[in-house]
Structure 1
Amino acid sequence: MPGHESTPIEEYALLGDTETAALVSRQGSIDWLCLPRFDSPACFAALLGTPEHGRWLLGPRDEARSTRRYLDHSFVLETVHETATGAVKVTDLMPIGDGRADIVRSVEGLHGVVAMRHEWVVRFEYGQVRPWVSRGTGHRLDSDVIRAVAGPDMLVLRGTRLPSAHDGRHVDEFEVRAGETHTFSTTWFPSYEPVPPPIDIDSRTEETIRVSTHWASRCDYEGPHRDLVVRSLLTLRALTHSRFGGIVAAPTTSLPEDFGGERNWDYRYCWLRDASLTLEALLASGYVDEARLWRNWLVRAVAGDPEDLQIMYAVDGARRLPERTLEHLPGYAGSVPVRVGNGAVEQRQSDVLGEVMIALDEARRRGLEVLPQAWAMQRVLVDELARHWDAPDNGLWEIRGPRRHFTHSRVMVWAALDRAVRGVEEWGLEGPVDRWRELRDRVREEILAKGYDADRGTFTQHYDTREVDASLLLIPLVGFLPPDDPRVLGTIAAVEQDLMRDGFLLRYRTQSGVDGLAGDEHPFLACSWWLVSAYAVSGQVDKATALMDRLVTLFNDVGLVSEEYDPANGRMVGNFPQAFSHLAFIGAAHALAAATRTGAAKGAPGEPPAQTPANGSVASPGGTTASEGTAASDPVTPEPALRNGDADGADRAPERSGS
């Protein structure tokens, strides 16, 4: 098996400084790291190849029992290795908040004697470029460092005991006894700048833990699985660039959806959809400042001609993300091609603006202050959508087959118009509300006429099929129909019947050929959590609880989860950790907590189910419904919307905002 095929994805933990992130295995090998930011080329790329493609190993030489945890609410990772002769503790972190790019590692003897293996293999440009490596004095405060330089990049390794050059690598073996400590750090900086000074490891470690734990303390969620919710929120924070404001979908590329197949994609970019849903999860849990950072990033990223709106951008808002393959990498588990960049950037995905409008509407409800240019941007984008809303698109799942009239995309067009109308009607903002309202209702009528299979009693994946799609579970969550509407309940049942595999939910049936790709894929975890949310808001709380209890067992030992799950072999699949999975889990937890509080599961006469106003990532008990967009011909009378999502449903005067 090539490379790290034998290292399961769930065996990795995340290190991060809120500008980039690394994956470190339980055995102590940092097999993935892009510097200086998430979408930079990797300097350690063994995750997608072999150790010769770059890694930093610091772990026991002999067989060991290894347990690990994050310290408090940080991404400071503590791993204890117990061998037949003793035990050591390795502490790994990327210090946050100092504007540097450092990885710090220390090994401390706990008892007995443990033989350690140290291996530092730097390969820039995703494992392709072998640097010039030399040893000498770094900064004036250093006695000795190892430098690796190639083009614009330089890494320096510092430590109490540096490894020696051997066949293109730097390796060392040494023994650690009880009470002994060795510390190491790797620092990236532009090769044309002087070597930066060493950091104060103890103070930076303490500060990193303090800042992260304080951030976590702001979470106001109280409900089931709170510890995992907090860890998922921290993961979303770790995937958010703290200066730019861009939120990446995952820190990795080309971890396969189908082992050995071609479904390998680069997720190190900022999808407007994923970022919007992340924002909703943060807002629902008490984080408004993060909404401000992302909104400002959004205004910069989409600035320009509204016809040029993209579905994704680079971390800093750059637009060019050309997709190419890395022929020199054999891929995780032999899965090729290994891709960097993402060709989906050129796709038409009509749902994206709906996600953005929902997130910004929720931000207004949470008190985000006025930014007139943000509303001006929304007006222009909604008007542009209104001109092309009826064109087929590639859909939520970035279908690489023919464009279709996807029902979910149409529902999100409705949502974009609905939130635009609310901006005028509820928040006093300026806009052509009559035109938006008329088009919103027309879109709704079309969806009910063309996207619904009356014979089977379910909405369909697109207008030309009877297939279902897990994205249809979002219909009640965005307020298109009330969750107790028979058409919603029928859709939930159809999705459950057609897409459940070994207790978890697929996105859609790949056998239909809709996506234009070869091979199959595994259950998509966000979809299973959407089903939890759909169960919860529709009053099926017993089923929601049972599914949630099964899903939370999939998190690894440090609270991380990937994009998909292979239930037959009990392993994680796809890019890792995946923001979409974590944010959908947060939404499901909120929805389940709200349903439990209101007693909706019991189906009390006259008591409406709890609702969640966004795609499973926000679960305000008050929620929203389709009352503003119900067509006159529709026989269903939806529940009235609660304006602010208060648990008791009490109205408050909304604050004016232009977010």
Structure 2
Amino acid sequence: MDHYPLIADHGLIGDLHTAALVSTDGTIDWFCCPRFDSPSVFGALLDQERGGHCRVRPAHGPYTSRQLYFPDTTILITRFLMPSGTGEVVDFMVPLPGGQPTENHRLVRMVRCVRGEVQFELDVSPRFDYGREAHTTHLTENGAVFAGDDLVLTLQAVREPDDERLAELAITGEGAVRGTVTLRAGQVRGFVLESAAEGPPRAIRAAEVERDFAATVRFWRTWLDTSTYRGRWRETLNRSAMTLKLMTYAPTGAIVAAPTAGLPEQLGGERNWDYRYTWIRDASFAVSSLLGMGFVEEAADFSRWLRDRDEGGPLKIMYRVDGSSDLVEETLDHWDGYRGSRPARIGNGASDQLQLDIYGELLDSVYQAHRRGLGLGQRGWAGLTAMLDWLGDNWDQPEEGIWETRGGREDFTYGRLMCWVAFDRGIRLSHELGRPAPLERWRMHRDRIYAQIWDRGWHPGQRSFVQRYGSDVLDSSLLRMARVGFVSDRDPAWLDTLAAMERDLVSDSLVYRYDPGAAPDGLAGEEGTFSLCSFNYVNALAGAGQVEKARLVFEKMLTYGNHLGLYAEEIGPTGEQLGNFPQAFTHLALIDAALALDKALDQK
């Protein structure tokens, strides 16, 4: 399994409809088209032999590769340094802001030589529908066409008029196209891989892709200019913000939890989930984090997406980017999974779980948007009122919880906490907006939940709030308790809870979600530390006045990011990144931690 790249050895590019992962050796080994949640075209990340890939790298070694983003953009540059010369592959997709969904997407791979002479090899080997669908391939003078049942990809050469015909391209086994191109210093070639192109492959001049490059630079820098963040970690937060933006589906405003599926939380284990969907929780957190940096467009777009989810009943915990909820979980038995981590899953069986915390996270994000000047129309208010009326009848029951355990429903303390937040924010919005609401009933529920958590969620022996009622197990989801205003940052009970978590869940700044051995979750195996929780720990320490410790934990966490500042879901025992990548949860929590730490340091 050594031929699999590390999860961290990737960069992310995208066009706000879909995204691709590019490894440090110039291979696109994950790309779904035309949407995040569409079947994969390149899926070698989950099966090197049968998944499909698009590779551009030097034809002869040895070489050393380096990767960076063009400053303040999501344009990815992979550099190859070798004795004969230095070459670069510049990967990007031109952003496609809001409007109607489109089948047409352009993935640009500029290839250039900056010193000496470099011969590059090209290998485009698509595998449609997760490798389950056959395709045909035919060559033309200017490229190739790969045709599946529902998707056609056109490979178009970047060439100049005096270039010789691309006779070096050839069709190889299983409909792949391979070839070579030799470049001298200053030459730019490459190709554009386009879905649903209007015609056959055409010759594309280098000047055209340079214009696309410039347009992409303008888009990202214009977007970053709307940020109000001027704190200590500006470049780091900008990268996290752009990563969250890359996970936004512009036609609807939905934000996916990650652009990947099936990457393991434990190598060789079964905790391999599909995260290419919009969780109410994750998206609400992401909106709040972006608002904290001054980005308001995403909150408005997500609110519009959410209004369209009005189904006359409780919310589902997750949806597809178009708002549909057909997320039947299945396994790709013909795929090995990343480094043999079976099963490789698509769809998500947790979609029908009851998770009561989502209402608090949603209401809190709506409240944060209101505080930053975004309006809430009558339709939106009516929807929130109906939602809280439903929650009033349903909050006091067992549920599956934030971590989507598969061991049965429990009375999770965090779920109750966020129900308290939902009613609290609803009451505040009613007062501040002057909107009608059954405030007496909402206050009754809010106060009952408050008393219940103190009575049943606090464990006197542990001197801590615990994961679920009747248990002594700790859970780092409760690191948000003081932040949402349930308890004071300096309350002795809260300080005791932080100390207990440090004792049982923290390992040299890294934080586990919970102990699966002490709290069986219905799944085999273990997992790494959860980076969302590690950054939430920074936030909690800063609020509790432990500012120096918070800063050290934060700086340590920054060392676990990859070479581009990207993070997966978890960190394993040797510091490797695990789980789907990059993970919205981690990047939004990084932003929140930095904002809290900046504030605490400024007040010292």
What is the TM-score when the length of structure 2 is the normalising length? Answer: 0.95
| Contact 1:39/1:314, CA 8 A, preserved across alignment | yes
| Contact 2:56/2:123, CA 8 A, preserved across alignment | yes
SS at match of 2:231: coil
Q: How far off its partner does 1:304 sit?
A: 1.6
| Contact 1:53/1:128, CA 8 A, preserved across alignment | no
In structure 1, the partner of 2:301 is 293
**What are the within-5 Å matches in structure 2 for residues 67-216 of structure 1?**
67-97=66-96, 100-136=104-140, 143-159=141-157, 160=159, 161=166, 163-168=169-174, 169-189=176-196, 194=199, 200-216=208-224
In structure 2, the partner of 1:476 is 482
Name the amino acid aligned to 2:574.
N
In structure 1, the partner of 2:397 is 391
Q: How far off its partner does 1:348 sit?
A: 0.3
| Contact 1:265/1:340, CA 8 A, preserved across alignment | yes
Partners of 2:153 and 2:270 lie apart in 1 by 33
Partners of 2:377 and 2:506 lie apart in 1 by 44
**What are the within-5 Å matches in structure 2 for residues 429-440 of structure 1?**
429-440=435-446
1:571 aligns with 2:576: yes
Name the amino acid aligned to 1:76.
I
| Alignment equivalent of 2:594, drawn from 578, 589, 598 | 589
Name the amino acid aligned to 1:339.
R
Q: How far off its partner does 1:69 sit?
A: 1.4
In structure 2, the partner of 1:255 is 263
1:265 aligns with 2:273: yes
1:39 aligns with 2:33: no
In structure 2, the partner of 1:279 is 287
- 1:45-82: per-residue Cα shift (whole Å, max 9, x none)? 00000144210000113221112211121111112211
Please provide the CA RMSD for this pair. Answer: 1.5
Structure 1 vs Structure 2: percent identity of aligned residues?
A: 39
Name the amino acid aligned to 1:594.
K
| Contact 2:113/2:187, CA 8 A, preserved across alignment | yes
Partners of 1:589 and 1:367 lie apart in 2 by 23
Name the amino acid aligned to 1:206.
A
- 1:191-223: per-residue Cα shift (whole Å, max 9, x none)? xx7558777312111011111011112111122
Name the amino acid aligned to 1:597.
D
| Alignment equivalent of 1:505, drawn from 504, 511, 515 | 511
**What are the within-5 Å matches in structure 2 for residues 215-364 of structure 1?**
215-301=223-309, 303-307=310-314, 309-364=315-370
Partners of 2:6 and 2:582 lie apart in 1 by 13
| Contact 2:532/2:569, CA 8 A, preserved across alignment | yes
| Contact 1:119/1:163, CA 8 A, preserved across alignment | no
CA shift in 2, pair 1:365/1:256, >3 Å = same
Name the amino acid aligned to 1:526.
L
Name the amino acid aligned to 1:81.
F
Partners of 1:487 and 1:198 lie apart in 2 by 68
In structure 2, the partner of 1:638 is none
- 1:465-504: per-residue Cα shift (whole Å, max 9, x none)? 1010001111001111111111111111111110123441
Name the amino acid aligned to 1:89.
E
SS at match of 1:249: coil
SS at match of 1:510: coil
SS at match of 1:224: coil
Name the amino acid aligned to 2:24.
R
Name the amino acid aligned to 1:183.
G
| Contact 1:27/1:60, CA 8 A, preserved across alignment | no
Partners of 1:195 and 1:287 lie apart in 2 by 40
SS at match of 1:381: helix
Q: How far off its partner does 1:115 sit?
A: 2.5
| Contact 1:122/1:130, CA 8 A, preserved across alignment | no
In structure 2, the partner of 1:653 is none
| Contact 2:509/2:557, CA 8 A, preserved across alignment | no
- 1:440-485: per-residue Cα shift (whole Å, max 9, x none)? 0011000000000123321000002101000111100111111111
In structure 2, the partner of 1:652 is none
Partners of 2:202 and 2:55 lie apart in 1 by 23
What is the TM-score when the length of structure 1 is the normalising length? Answer: 0.87
Instruction: List 4+ stretches of structure 1 deviating above 6 A.
Output: 196-199
Corresponding pairs, count: 586
Instruction: Could you tell me which runs of 5 or more consecutive residues in structure 1 were left unpaired when the two chains were aligned.
Output: 137-142, 600-659
Q: How far off its partner does 1:399 sit?
A: 0.9
**What are the within-5 Å matches in structure 2 for residues 485-500 of structure 1?**
485-500=491-506
Q: How far off its partner does 1:555 sit?
A: 1.4
